[in-house]
């Protein structure tokens, strides 16, 4: 039955105790920064997953502006056993957005903690608060004419480095493995104490943002994709802006080419001839990036017919697979590497190379080139217009960077998606030795049958990929426990042990990555 | 029921809409309710994202705002997914005068707009996804949406059926 005073209460918390906790929160952050009315909470409940909104409804939202406020908030949470779900910018679209992982959790929104604390143009480091966006950093770097380049994920403009890195997201430059480039965190623990990782605990230290390891166990990793603490500051490395940047694309006409593409690219990537996270994008992903809507071509239901996809490819000049990569450095360096790459491609006898000069400002090349050079944009949101209806889940299994693995994954994914009436909208992101296979499971969330199919499809993707020895590296909040199971009972037990030690009342994001006390 | 509202309801029935109840019901917060009611009487700002239905939607908003004696601000017209444009929109939402933002947007733009609105501390009165067929009924549907979002923003509208092949849109009413 609906509670007359609150839309929902946190699990296990009485109305009386919630009243008292909210009063304490108001004393800490101010009454205006404690949101409980339906119209203020609605945008924190906007999910894209195929489950009922009510499963992810927040009971309240707290807007903190200082570390001291965060410390005081967790103390109140311990007193009243109120669970909180922390977000930075809250733009993890398709993974849960700004909504809490479980119904009734209080959202702790850190978007107002948005100070760029330090950028060192000589050491190429940054230290920022959780609410800082990539656009904000980009504007700062441009305004101060700093010779630095950012690495960012596709929702770059409105997302931020803290949230993306803490969720182990990736970008598209040579610094695209964001957690690898992270250096130093400030964490508010569940008991209110403040931990600085790496060199950050040493009095008078100046190396917090340049030396990651410090002394003893390196702790940073346990705070990513977890619920052991709240990150209130994060350091990371920035790439020096190269004098020459040369983006390019290679178009392949056949789906079967994926095997060969990866075998050609892997040696170039591992040897750093191609230094950035190469993308191999499927035709429909590219169609979304080129502003194509499915209804422009096809009015039917279910899977988009191959003949329609072929027509889109023809109209937009897209391949079945479209490789994006870039070279960075001096002219001499770029020229040498360009020759190596073009020689390899020529020897393979496949693929059409497209340079920036040839592509001009056409999409999707333009936005891909921007992402590879650290320029924020929003073009990839066009994926949400492909099918429409507001449903999106990222299915992101990892594999070795081998052609045979990618071929197998692409075929398996397409078969399962098509079986459920959904399209394969996917890309591979080539790490140094791994492959992130990122698939956007797009569906019409306003259509109950399609929503049900999307849920079944996602479950089957997880199950069938697991049977083949694959697991996802990240998942939306509706499937966290399922994915935690993929990594085995011992890992789950260790994570629970850590949780009980660091957060004995289980107030920090219970359920995040399947971790609870 | 005012004459205007009756006309809207009649119009909606004619173009195949079903009316459903308030989506974001208030949880017993009378202060917030009265604040919202007073803000809903302030200026109306329409927002569109470059669809073929923009002009009909804007006409609906304009007619309803005029009938209610509300100030209507210049429409915000977004085209494409230009980051600089959304950046400016975000700043405008943060700094803007109190207004009721009523929009008809594509899915991608709506996702961005509504999240910028969250960051600006906006209040969401209604959000609804629609599939609007590309036929003669589309114009009246868009116009009806515009009118209803102004006259009865806490009522959500749902296509009554048979529109699965239509183009996806999102309508919304928010208070900044």
Domain harbouring A457, CATH code:
3.40.462.10
Q: In the beta sheet, which residues pair with residue B76? A: B47
Residue A482 annotated among the catalytic residues of the structure: no
- Bridge partners of B18, per DSSP, are B158
Q: What ipTM was reported for this prediction?
A: 0.93
> Which residues in chain A show pLDDT less than 70?
1-3
Q: Which of A93, A109, A125 is the last residue of a domain?
A: A109
End residue of a domain, out of A449, A467, A485: A467
> Which of the four pLDDT bands, split at 50, 70 and 90, describes residue B160?
very low
| Residues A82 and A123 placed together within one structural domain of the fold | no
Which of these, A90, A91, A102, lies nearest to A63 by C-alpha position? Answer: A90
Does residue A297 sit in the same domain as residue A210?
Answer: no
- Tell me, yes or no, whether A476 lies in a domain: no
Residue A500 lies in a domain: no
Are the beta carbons of A163 and A91 closer than 8 angstroms?
yes
Asked if B107 and A447 come within 8 Å (Cβ–Cβ), the reply is no
Please check whether residue A8 lies inside any domain of the structure. Answer: no
Confidence (pLDDT) at A384: 96
Which residues of chain B does A153 touch, with a Cβ-Cβ cutoff of 8 Å? none
| A33: containing domain | 15-109
Does residue A142 share a domain with residue A99? no
Task: Name the least confident of A230-244, B116-130, B146-160.
Answer: B146-160
Over 70: is that where the pLDDT of B24 sits?
no
What pLDDT is attached to residue B4? 41
Q: Do A155 and A380 touch, CB atoms closer than 8 A?
A: yes
Question: Which of A132, A138, A142, A388 should be substituted to probe chain B, the one whose Cβ sees the most B Cβ atoms within 10 Å?
Answer: A388
pLDDT at B134 (0 to 100): 79
Residue A95, pLDDT score: 94
Please confirm, yes or no, whether A95 is among the known catalytic residues: yes
Domain hosting residue B117, numbered range: 3-175
Measured CA to CA, the distance from residue A173 to residue A331 in angstroms comes to: 18
Residue A125 domain flag: yes
Rounded CA Rg of chain A: 23
A390–B118 C-beta distance less than 8 A: no
Higher pLDDT, A214 or B4: A214
Angle at which helices A403-419 and A448-467 cross, to 10°: 150
Question: Which structure tokens are listed for A460?
Answer: 């089957």
Residues A372 and A308 grouped into a single domain? yes
- The reply to whether A54 touches chain B by the CB within 8 Å rule is no
CATH number at residue A97: 3.30.43.10
Query: Which chain A residue's Cα is nearest to B159?
Result: A446
A25 and A87 both lie in a single domain:
yes
Check pLDDT > 50 for residue B3.
no
Count up the domains in chain B and report the number: 1
Which residue in the set A3, A40, A300 is minimally distant from B123, CB to CB?
Answer: A40
Summarize pLDDT for A452-509 with one digit per residue, the tens. Answer: 999 999 999 999 999 999 999 999 999 999 999 999 999 999 999 999 999 999 999 9
Local confidence band at B17 (pLDDT 50, 70, 90 cut-offs): very low
Q: Is A80 a catalytic residue?
A: no
- Confirm whether A494 is domain-assigned: no
Task: Flag whether pLDDT at B1 surpasses 80.
Answer: no
Q: Looking at A53, A76, A109, which one is the last position of a domain?
A: A109
Question: What is the structure's pLDDT at B11?
Answer: 44
How many domains, chain A?
3
The 3-state secondary structure of chain B reads CCHHHHHHHHHHHHCCEEEECCCCCCCCCHHHHHHHHHHHCCCEEEEECCCCCHHHHHHHHHHHHHHHCCCECCCEECCCCCHHHHHHHHHHHHHCCCCEEEEEECHHHHHHHHHHHHHCCCEEEEEEEEEECCCCCHHHHHHHHHHHHHHCCCCEEEECCCCCCCEEEEEEEEEC
- B144-173: average pLDDT: 78
Considering the domain boundaries, does residue A261 fall inside one? yes
- Is the CB of residue A44 less than 8 Å away from at least one CB of chain B? yes
Residue A271 lies in a domain: yes
For residue B174, the chain A residue with the least C-alpha distance is A39
Whether residue A279 is found in the same domain as residue A354 = yes
B136 band by pLDDT with thresholds 50, 70 and 90: confident
Please tell me the distance from the alpha carbon of residue A369 to that of residue A339, in angstroms, as a whole number. Answer: 20
For residue A247, which of A275, A220, A227 has the smallest C-alpha distance? Answer: A275
> Is the same domain home to A184 and A257?
no
Predicted confidence at residue B36, as pLDDT, reads 55
């Amino acid at each position: 039955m609906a509670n007359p005073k609150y839309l929902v209460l946190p699990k296990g918390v009485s109305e009386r105790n919630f009243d008292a906790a909210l009063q304490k929160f108001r004393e800490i952050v101010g009454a205006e920064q404690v949101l409980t009315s339906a119209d203020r909470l609605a945008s924190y409940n906007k999910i894209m997953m195929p489950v009922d909104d009510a499963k992810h409804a927040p009971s309240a939202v707290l807007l903190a502006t200082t570390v001291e406020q965060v410390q005081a908030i967790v103390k109140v949470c311990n007193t009243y056993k109120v669970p909180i779900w922390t977000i930075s910018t809250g733009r993890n679209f398709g993974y849960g957005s700004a909504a809490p992982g479980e119904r009734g959790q209080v959202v702790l929104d850190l978007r107002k903690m948005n100070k760029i604390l330090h950028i060192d143009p000589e050491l190429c480091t940054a230290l920022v608060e959780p609410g800082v966006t990539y656009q904000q950093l980009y504007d700062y770097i441009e305004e101060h004419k700093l010779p630095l380049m950012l690495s960012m994920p596709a929702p770059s403009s409105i997302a931020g480095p803290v949230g993306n890195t803490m969720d182990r997201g990736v970008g598209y430059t040579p610094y695209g493995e964001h957690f690898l480039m992270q250096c130093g965190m400030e964490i508010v623990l569940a008991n209110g104490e403040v931990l600085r990782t790496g060199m950050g605990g040493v009095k008078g230290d100046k190396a917090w943002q340049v030396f990651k390891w410090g002394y003893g166990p390196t702790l940073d990793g346990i705070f990513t994709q977890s619920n052991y603490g709240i990150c209130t500051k994060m350091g990371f490395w920035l790439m020096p802006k190269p004098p020459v940047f040369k983006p390019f694309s290679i178009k392949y006409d056949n789906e079967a080419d994926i095997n060969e593409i990866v075998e050609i690219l892997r040696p170039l990537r591992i040897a750093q001839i191609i230094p950035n996270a190469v993308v191999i994008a499927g035709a429909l992903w590219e169609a979304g990036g080129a502003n194509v809507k499915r209804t422009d071509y096809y009015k039917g239901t279910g899977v988009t017919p191959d003949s329609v996809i072929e027509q889109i490819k023809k109209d937009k000049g897209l391949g079945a697979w479209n490789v994006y990569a870039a070279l960075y450095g001096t002219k001499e360096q770029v020229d040498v590497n360009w020759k190596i790459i073009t020689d390899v491609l020529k020897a393979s006898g496949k693929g059409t190379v497209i340079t920036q000069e040839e592509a001009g400002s056409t999409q999707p090349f333009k936005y891909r080139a921007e992402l590879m050079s650290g320029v924020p944009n929003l073009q990839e949101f066009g994926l949400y217009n492909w099918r429409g209806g507001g449903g999106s889940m990222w299915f992101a299994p990892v594999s070795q960077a081998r052609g045979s693995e990618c071929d197998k994954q692409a075929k398996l994914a397409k078969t399962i998606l098509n079986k459920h009436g959904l399209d394969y909208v996917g890309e591979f992101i080539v790490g140094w030795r791994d492959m992130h296979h990122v698939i956007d499971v797009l569906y019409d969330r306003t259509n109950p049958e399609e929503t049900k199919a999307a849920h079944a499809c996602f479950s089957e993707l997880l199950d069938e990929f697991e049977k083949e020895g694959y697991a996802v590296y990240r998942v939306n909040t509706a499937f966290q426990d399922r994915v935690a199971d993929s990594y085995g009972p011992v890992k789950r037990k260790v994570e629970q042990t850590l949780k009980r030690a660091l957060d004995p009342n289980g107030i920090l994001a219970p359920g995040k990555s399947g971790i609870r006390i | 029921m005012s004459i205007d509202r009756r006309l809207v309801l009649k119009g909606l029935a004619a173009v195949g809409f079903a009316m459903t109840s308030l989506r974001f019901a208030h949880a017993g917060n009378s202060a917030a309710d009265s604040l919202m009611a007073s803000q809903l009487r302030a200026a109306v700002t329409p927002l569109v994202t470059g669809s073929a239905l923009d002009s009909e939607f804007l006409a609906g908003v304009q007619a309803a705002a005029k009938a209610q004696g509300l100030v209507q601000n210049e429409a915000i017209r977004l085209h494409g997914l230009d980051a600089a444009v959304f950046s400016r929109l975000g700043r405008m939402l943060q700094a803007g005068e109190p207004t009721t933002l009523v929009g008809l947007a594509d899915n991608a733009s709506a996702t961005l707009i509504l999240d910028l609105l969250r960051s600006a501390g906006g209040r969401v009165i209604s959000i609804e996804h629609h599939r609007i067929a590309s036929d003669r009924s589309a114009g009246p549907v868009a116009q009806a949406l515009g009118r209803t979002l102004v006259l009865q923003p806490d009522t959500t509208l749902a296509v009554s059926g048979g529109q699965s092949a239509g183009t996806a849109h999102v309508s919304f009413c928010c208070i900044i």
